[in-house]
Each structure stands twice: as structure tokens, then as C-alpha cells.
A and B are shown apart, each in its own frame.
Chain A
């Protein structure tokens, strides 16, 4: 399961929403990207909250199931299954699933940890991923009202970096509606809300006053991620409610809705790119801001010593 077919996984998982008891069959599971893994975790957390019974089946014979365990899927779901591997293997090319920090906790240390698994030398790719993950995690906070999960992985053989963030919260449309966002319009669809959230300077909470005066959100995170992933010729997918969006490189994005009323209650964001495509993080930031109109004329030069 990769970024481009993540929505197929979510489509299948949605079958569980109408069931009282769910068996997740691992017999033919080979590989999931971090976006798929955190989506499964968020989905099961949602089922747990609504009192559904669920279980993993046919995992004992599947040699790939150890990877799910090593990614701490079972631990974070409270599932105590025997492990047939050493947890001190020395491998540092992935970061197991962790919870997105609460709003009073700094996302910086987790962003750095996720980034270091891809670029342990802390070069351009490290800083790009720091930026991307630190922008992605607060989105999960903002739309979740529930729990958010994040993970990252680096495939050395193909030099591919992957991250995934998912939550089991209210989703993007409901975030616009429940926060009485000026961007919300009566009758707005989830697809319209998802496409709106990807635009620069759009956020469901940027109009709100907080205990600290201004809202911390200016609505730049998702749009910057989108541009940075396009510049890296990578893939990015965003799913919320009944709608999905997928971008590959600089091709025109695709988007649509799940069929048969299926949905993902919450939001999933997954991204992947080749490390070899990242050679100048600063230049990428500049180009992304220019493209999005987020770089107004510099009229503040005198404030820099």
C-alpha cells in the first residue's frame, strides 16, 4: 500500500463503520507506508471510541506483521501480542507511530526525530522534513478534537522518505462549520472544504481569538506542504470525510469522493519524496512562497542587524 492507493485502503476500512464486529485480516498484507499505518491506527481508535469489537486475524503466519508490531501499532492500540523480533536491532530508518503532541507541547522534538530517520546527517532533507512535519502535526490537532498519530520511514534502497499523519477527529468540513469560519458556506461539501483547506491563507480557526490573543493559525501549513512536495516531485495525499485529494509531482492534482457513502471520519495526510530531489531547502521555501503569494515585498530590511 503506497500513497497513490491509500484511498483504496481507506475505502476498505470504511466497511467496518457499519459493522458491530470487525476482523482485520493480515493474510495478504505485504507493506504499508506510514500514512497507511497511522490511518489504520486512527480508524481503530475511532472504532474503539464507539464501542465496536475488532481484532487482527491471520497475522501469526505473516512475516510482515512484525513490521506493524515494530511500528508500535499494537502497543498504541493496547494490543498485547507476542513479538518475534528484537527491539534493539539498531535500525533507525523509521519512527514508530507516536501521538501528535497536545497544543501545550512542542511538536519540534518529534518533528526532528521524524526528520532524523530520513537524514541523520541533518542536512537539507532534514530541515525540509522538520518544516513539513511541524506544519502537518498541528493540522491534526486543529481538526481532530480526538487523537492524532504520526510516523515516518526511510527506504534506503530507493532513497524514499515517507511521512504519515492521521487523526480520528471531526474532519475538515466540520472544523470549518463548528468554528463558524468565514470560509464556511451553507451546503459546502466535504470535497469543497478539503480543496479550500489546501489554499494559502485559509484555516478553519484563523479568525478565532484565543487565550493568547490571536489564533496561532494563518493557514499556510498545508499549502506550503503541497508546494514543497510538488517541487520535490514527490507524492502527497489528503483525505477527510468522504473526500480525497492526490498530487504527484507537478502534475495537476486529482480529487474525488469515496463511493457508496464510504468515508474516513478524521483526516489523513501522507507524503513521499526522493531524498535525491532535495538539494536546496532554502531555495525550495522561496519558490513555494513565491508561487503561493506568501512573500510580500520586503519592506522591513532595517530590522535585521
Chain B
């Protein structure tokens, strides 16, 4: 299991979609292939923009619509953070599934 403490990377506010996108590509994607389980700790995260949630976790779900349910867990999420993550990941999985089907796989 690999744990990522979000506050250590961004402070208490996950704000910037551009940085969320970069973080996913540079930090999460390489771990996703290697780790059996990725746990994101949201302890101390008070707020998150939809841009960050979509760029970081929505795009991760788009790339791995099935695996994300098996390999990723979130802990210490407030109700607000949980709802934002849920919206971003559900939307990302939907996009990912549609892409897979449109590619004929």
C-alpha cells in the first residue's frame, strides 16, 4: 500500500486544476502501475475546487475506469470533499467507459 498525504503537497486547499493535472501525471500515474493499493489521505484538507478534483482524480478515473475502484482509496474526507471526489470520479469513469466502447474494445 502506498499512501499520499495531500496536505503535504498542496496545503489545506486543493485549488489549481493545472497543478492537479501535473500531480496526477508526475506523481500518481507512475505509482498507479506499481502499487497494489493507493491511499489518498485528505486529513486537513478543508476545501477543493472542481477543477482540481476533475484534473487530478477525474482524469485518473477516465484512464482507469475499472481499476480505480480496486486500487484507490480515500481516507479522512469531509462530506464536502467526498461529494466533490465522487462527482469527479463518477464522471471520469463515465468518460473512460465511453472511450473504451467507442474504440471498439
Contacts and interface: CB of A to CB of B under 8 A. Distances in A.
* A in complex with B: yes
B80 A282 contact: yes
A252 interface: no
Interface in B49-66: 49-52, 54-55, 58-59, 62-63
Contacts of B5: none
A38 to B, nearest CB: 19
Interface string B21-42: 1101110010000000001000
Interface stretch (A78-86, A126-134, A191-199): A126-134
A18 interface: no
Interface in A100-122: 103-104, 106-109, 111-112, 122
A214 B95 CA distance: 12
Given A303-B69, A304-B82, A135 B18 contact: no
Contact of A218 (B39, B55, B79, B83): B55
Contacts of A286: 83
B44 to A, nearest CB: 13
A211 B18 CA distance: 11
Interface in B70-101: 72-75, 77, 79-80, 82-87, 89-91, 93-94
Contacts of B4: none
A5 interface: no
B50 A224 contact: yes
B50 to A, nearest CB: 5
A45 to B, nearest CB: 22
Interface range for B: 35 or more
B87 A294 contact: yes
B15 interface: yes
Interface string A284-304: 011001000011111111111
Contacts of A212: 21-22, 24-26
B21 A214 contact: yes
Nearest to B88: A218
A220 interface: yes
A216 interface: yes
A134 B16 contact: yes
- Greatest chain A CB density within 10 A among B10, B79, B86 is at B86
A138 B16 contact: yes
A210 B16 CA distance: 16
A115 to B, nearest CB: 9
A299 B88 CA distance: 12
A289 B72 contact: no
A134 B77 contact: no
B68 to A, nearest CB: 7
B10 A216 contact: no
B83 A285 contact: yes
Contact of A216 (B17, B29, B77): B17
Give the top 4 A-B pairs by smallest Cβ distance, nearest first.
Answer: A108-B15, A212-B25, A216-B21, A134-B15
23 contacts: A103-B18, A107-B15, A108-B13, A108-B14, A131-B50, A134-B15, A135-B49, A138-B18, A211-B25, A212-B25, A214-B24, A214-B55, A215-B21, A216-B18, A216-B55, A281-B80, A289-B87, A295-B83, A299-B93, A300-B86, A300-B89, A303-B68, A304-B86
Interface of A: 103-104, 106-109, 111-112, 122, 127, 130-131, 134-135, 138, 141, 210-218, 220-221, 224, 281-282, 285-286, 289, 294-305
Given A108-B16, A130-B15, A141-B18, 4 more contacts: A211-B25, A216-B55, A221-B49, A303-B73
Interface of B: 10-11, 13-22, 24-26, 29, 39, 46-47, 49-52, 54-55, 58-59, 62-63, 68-69, 72-75, 77, 79-80, 82-87, 89-91, 93-94
